[in-house]
Amino acid sequence: MDSKASILQNHLSTHRSRCNALFHQARHAYPRLDGNAFGQWLVETLAPLLDQTQPPFSEAAIDGLYLLGLELFARDYAGPNAQGEESKRLFLDLLPHLSRAVNDDPEHVPAELFNALHQLRLYDADLSGFCQRLAKIGPQLDSAANLRAMALVTAWRSGLAQFRTASLDLMENLPAKWLLPLFQDKPVEAEWHQCISQLRKNRWYHPDKPLEKQPQFRLLGGFSGFGGPFKSPPLVAFDQDHFWATDGHQTFTLFFDAFGATLVNSATAFPKSNNHHSDWTVRPDSQTVRFRDKTMDISQRPPIQDWASDAHTCLLVSPFSHDILIIPAR
């Protein structure tokens, strides 16, 4: 082994026949794969990662990262023709801080992290925030199981609201020192269990941002002709502790809270009943929404076609834009 060579160079030299075979298999599957360009990506991206990360990646992890990089490059998820920034975020922002967890399960963890980043991009969530938050606590995560748990919680905190319930359940058994930096700029560990209770009780609770400092409205949905999910103005309903929306072609479950909002395809039939909560009154004719004794003027918004509510939230549907207006209770 050459002591002056990079870790990657030594690995490629030791496992030359395997790496060459993997490359030829990839080129057979993806004939456009450019060997020179891939080599440049290895030098500029993978080699510095392996040389600079401490503790160092295991041989199995290096092999797995080479294989993942090859597949991502061949499929135009990495390199100069990359379709998104997920691979760049993975190799530059996340992996340098996660070697302990990667070494625990090198076959699966890197690919799972890429998939998480891809989902964040598809849902237009906070990709940069996810990387910053997870990288900050990454060196403390010594197992793949801990990383998977914290990645899920961090994805929720970064906008994937569909992971709210699962994250809250996981948080009951995770160390407060890992979780506090995700939710509070100036964490107070003694108040953490009270914080979890508030997060579970009210979807609009944010430890660092009171409701009055959050946006008054949120928008979700939109017309399919402009990139949204709905071909026609949707109907909305609240039933079985969930909000639902359908345009007659697809049914979605709606997830939203203080950290983000998402629409997720559902195989469940759209509910036949729509249970309006008694604290909300919506008057489409006067374009007003009332929560208990507070009235909100929405005359500057499009007309209301349909609405649904629970104790904390009211949804209004626009027949023009096909948007769903989400109004937190204040």
Q: 294-297 and 235-239 as β-strands: parallel, antiparallel, unpaired?
A: unpaired
3-class DSSP assignment, residue 14 = helix
Are 222 and 195 members of one domain?
Answer: no
Alpha carbon distance 120, 157 (integer Å): 11
Read off the DSSP letter of residue 273: -
Q: Which domain holds residue 321?
A: 218-328
Q: What angle do CA 116, 117, 121 make, to 5 degrees?
A: 120
Are 116 and 244 members of one domain?
Answer: no
Are 164 and 239 members of one domain?
Answer: no
> What does each C-alpha distance from 131 to 175, 309, 313 come to in angstroms?
20, 34, 30
Q: Which helix (H) or strand (E) holds 243?
A: strand 242-246
CA distance between the termini of the chain: 66
Q: How many domains does the chain have?
A: 2
Are 73 and 154 members of one domain?
Answer: yes
Q: Does residue 2 fall inside a structural domain?
A: no
Alpha carbon distance 73, 82 (integer Å): 8
Are 142 and 254 members of one domain?
Answer: no
Are 191 and 282 members of one domain?
Answer: no
On whether the CB atoms of residues 179 and 171 are closer than 8 A, the answer is yes
Are 154 and 224 members of one domain?
Answer: no
Are 187 and 223 members of one domain?
Answer: no
Are 238 and 96 members of one domain?
Answer: no
Are 177 and 225 members of one domain?
Answer: no
pLDDT tens, residue order, the chain (330 aa): 445 569 999 999 999 999 999 999 999 999 999 999 999 999 999 999 999 999 999 999 999 999 999 999 999 999 999 989 999 999 999 999 999 999 999 999 999 999 999 999 999 999 999 999 999 999 999 999 999 999 999 999 999 999 999 999 999 999 989 998 888 776 566 678 888 899 999 999 988 887 778 777 889 999 999 999 999 999 999 988 899 999 999 999 999 999 999 999 999 899 988 778 899 998 877 678 889 988 887 777 778 889 999 999 999 998 889 999 999 988
Q: Give the contacts of 301 (CB within 8 A, at least 6 positions apart).
A: 217, 287, 316, 318, 325
> Nearest 10 degrees: CA dihedral of 117, 203, 174, 118?
-10
The domain boundary, picked from 141, 170, 201, lies at 201
Q: Does residue 307 fall inside a structural domain?
A: yes
Q: Does residue 206 fall inside a structural domain?
A: no
